[in-house]
Amino acid sequence: MPKSHAPVYYADYLRLEQLLSAQLPKSTEHGAPAHDEMLFIIVHQAYELWFKQILFELGSVAADFKSDYIDERSIGTAVARLGRITEIQKVLIDQLRILETMTPQGFLEFRDFLSPASGFQSVQFRLIENLLGLSAAARLQYNHTSYHSRVTAEHQEILRASELQPSLFDLVEKWLERTPFLEFESFNFWRSYEAAVKAMLQQDRQTIETNPTLSEEIKLRELQTLAKTEESFSVLFNETQHDAIVAAGAWRLSYKATKAALLIHLYRDEPVLHLPFKFLTLLVDIDELFTTWRQRHALMTHRMIGTKIGTGGSSGHQYLRAAADTHKIFSDFFNLATFLIPRTALPLLPPDIRRRLGFFYTAQAAEHGSASGANPNHV
């Protein structure tokens, strides 16, 4: 079949003339060319290109999760696209190594020409934060002003509009709340899990109290630690307590979403829960990698400018370091590890429920007593 389109030329397809002519060093413009400014521009332009790709991937995942029903194929697609984002983030971190081939004095040759421009003005990065779910209340203020304040009126409008859209955090929370596996006709996961937790904690208490090698002082200290653990678990079994810590800002996920996320983590070996577990893990990976990038950026800034203020007027590396600690979005998924219990202590799932959580063809074969001869194409 003859091609229906005109031939494409590499340079035209990639718009290389525009792309490669977009580096205009300010030092040259001011008659004092600084060699390292070209590197500085290209690295930051590369960042913005990668930010565009991250927004593209996140936007597609968010669009899929806006539906009231999300099938397994959509979860698989989301896993692939979030995985791509984590690989891009690793490149973002590695690019700092290239930037660090520039010396502090090399940076000083052109730094003053850049003021008051700042990486803080990267609208695309703020859009990424908003799309992921960084709330305005959780943002660290920039020189005691809103993060909108250092961008143009046009960009402020774009950022404010993005705040009104459902974030990926919001959409994932709604998806978790629809998880159908919290209660079955013949099995109440939550009641069974609560009983398993209480049995585990009681065993821990007995172990401490009957350990002849511990002094009374150490026993008291260990029991106080155990009491704090028991208190942590109590918010899982009391919706009123859970809502109170959400209202206080110590937790963000709703009670129902928290229960669903925990079930996915506890029974992640069940086939139907493989992809949901991988999906939640990738959200944590994205949060962790952005935290790592912010921390590395802070270290590089300290190395380049010491304790000077940044070109945008901020406290330089101190602001960046504080933002790394503050701007986490999926902390609740990190904190789920608090509530995990050993697999040996997990409530056993009844056979009929395990079949429902398994692959369809495996369940069909098991019903006919021929699992070893199951046809993987019989779906």
AA letter at 125: F
Q: What's the pLDDT at 309?
A: 60
pLDDT score of 378 more than 60: no
Tokens standing for 209?
A: 């109290």
**Residue listed under structure tokens 């050993």:** 342
> Tell me: the pLDDT tens digits for 270-293?
888 999 999 999 999 999 999 999
Domain ranges of the chain: 14-184+236-336, 350-379
CB neighbours of residue 309 within 10 Å? 14
Could you tell me the pLDDT band of residue 379, with boundaries at 50, 70 and 90? very low
> How would DSSP label each residue in 321-377?
HHHHHH--S-HHHHHGGGG---GGGSPPPPHHHHHHTS-HHHHHHHHTT-GGG--TT
Q: What's the pLDDT at 162?
A: 95
Query: Among 6-15, 26-35, 151-160, 367-376, where is mean pLDDT lowest?
Result: 367-376
In degrees rounded to 5, what are phi and psi of residue 28?
-65, -40
**What is the sign, positive or negative, of the torsion defined by CA atoms of 54, 56, 59, 63?**
negative
Rounded CA-CA distance 59/77 in Å is: 13
Largest CA distance in the chain: 87
Rounded CA-CA distance 52/125 in Å is: 9
Contact 131, 322 (CB under 8 A): no
CB neighbour list of residue 49: distance below 8 Å, 6 or more residues apart: none
Q: What percent of the chain has pLDDT over 90?
A: 63
pLDDT score of 222 more than 80: yes
Mean pLDDT, rounded, of the chain: 87
Task: Return the CATH class of domain 14-184+236-336.
Answer: mainly alpha
Query: Among 68-72, 242-246, 374-378, where is mean pLDDT lowest?
Result: 374-378
Does pTM surpass 0.75?
yes
> Tell me: the pLDDT tens digits for 321-369?
777 788 899 999 999 998 999 888 888 888 888 888 886 544 444 454 4
